[in-house]
Every structure is written in structure tokens, then in C-alpha cells.
Amino acid sequence: HYTLTLVSPLAEGLGEGTDRSPLLVCCYQPEPLPAGKIPVIVQSHGLASCPEDLATSAQHLASYGYFVVALQHEGSDTAQVRNMLAGNASEVFQWTEFVDRPANISRLLDALQRWNQVEFQDRLNLQAVGVMGYSFGAYTAFALAGAEIQFETLETACNIPLQKPNISLLLQCQALELPRQPYQFRDDRIAAILSIDSLGSELFGMAGIGKIQVPVLLIAGSHDATAPLALEQIRIFQW
């Protein structure tokens, strides 16, 4: 396990608010390296979390020969929450994270392609990558797999008084702060995704989830208070 700071070319066409900063990445490298091409998994942590919170699964995957990279999402991590509690930030997460999270993982893969040639003799398989996302990271995985934001569906849901205990809507509705335009986060290098405690039922809706054309594995938590099983996660599974 080691940490890297990677720099990639600037993302284009994603708006002025798009994060352009260097990427802080935790890497979990299998020992010894497997022969031939090395499969790659990208981990995306949840809101108010950090890459190390998914370390157990990363270490397990690395023990089976996967090279795992876990990106720090700086606008929605533990540091962002500490800054808010200290009065140095106004929100628990930056609404631009709906764009920055998937865009930065694509930037990460761009940077890894160059690093791959130098450090691994081009053995990392970056053309068929898996993404594992937890909660807000599940949104990130869905977006990279091709799910598209449906603003009209989301606005309708967010204008109805919150009567059902689906707390995840408090996060999803923040996407209404985004400029109303089509967002295409699909990265063709993503071959499959694993979503844990999924959220995005109103953010993507049936139409948005239906854009996904890669294999999806969902792991649902029946006691998840933020993204309730019946009101949030099962809806996504059905679609």
C-alpha cells in the first residue's frame, strides 16, 4: 500500500467549476505481481469518507491479483466535513462533486496510462477497468458506467415535501445546482461496476439508469438509514 500524487491533462468541456488539482491516490499493489496483464479496480469512497475507509476490500482484492487505486474526492471527503464544522466551508460537500467525481476518475485513468508505461511496462490493464463505489461513490460508478442525470425527474421529486424517510434525497437534490445541460460521464475503459449502498433513484431515474450497458453488481444494506433499501436501493436494482 502506498500513496501517489498524479497530475493529468486538464479536463475539457466540463465547466469552469471542474476540479483541475493533482489527484491523491492510495494504491494497493499485489505481491508478487501476477503474470501477464494486471487487472485494475478503482474505488470511490462515500460522502464524508476517505480512501482508507475501503482499505479492507482493497487489500482483499490485491491479495487476488488486482491492482487497486482509491481516489481521494476532496470536495466530499472527511476534510470537507471538518472544514464545515470549523466554519471554513458552508456545505458538507461541494455540489460540483457531481461533475468532479466521475471526471476525476477519468483523469486518474489518463494519468495511470502514462505511469503504467514507466513503472509497469504497460502491464496494467487500463482498457477494462472495474469501479467499486460506496454510497456517493456508487453515484460515481453509475455515472462512469453511462447513467445520465435526469433533471426533470429530479426536480419533480425534490419539489415534493419529504414525507418518506429517504434521506439520500438531501444529497441527490443538490445536483439541481448544476447548470442544466447534458452530462456525459461514460468512460469506455469501465468494463463493470460494483455499487454498494446505491443512491441515485431520483437523480438518474429509470431513463438514466437504463443508459448503463456494462455489468453491474449491487450490494444493498438493509439497515442503511441514509439510502433505505426499499425506497432507494431496490428501485435502482429493478431498473
Q: How many residues does the chain have?
A: 239
Q: Are 173 and 132 in contact (CB under 8 A)?
A: no
C-alpha cell at 36: 501477464
pTM over 0.95: no
The pLDDT value recorded for residue 162 is: 65
- List the one residue out of 71, 77, 72 whose CA is nearest residue 94: 77
* 199, HSE (Cβ side, Cα atoms, 13 Å): 22
The string of pLDDT tens digits covering residues 114-163 is 999 999 999 999 999 999 999 999 999 999 999 999 999 999 999 987 66
Residue type, 60: H
Q: Please name the amino acid found at residue 113.
A: Q
Please report, to the nearest 10 degrees, the dihedral formed by the alpha carbons of residues 122, 128, 130, 136 taken in order: 100
What is residue 10's predicted lDDT score, i.e. its pLDDT? 47
Give every residue of the chain whose pLDDT is below 70, as ranges.
8-20, 162-164
pLDDT at 14: 41
> CB burial class (10 A; 0-12, 13-18, 19+) of residue 125?
middle
Residue 212 falls in which region: left (phi positive, over 0), alpha (psi -120 to 50) or beta: beta
Distance (Å, whole) CA 185 – CA 191:
14
Q: Cell numbers at residue 67, please? A: 491492482
| Non-local CB neighbours of 103 within 8 Å, separated by 6+ positions | 11, 14, 18, 19, 185
CA-closest candidate to residue 236, choices 158, 159, 172: 172
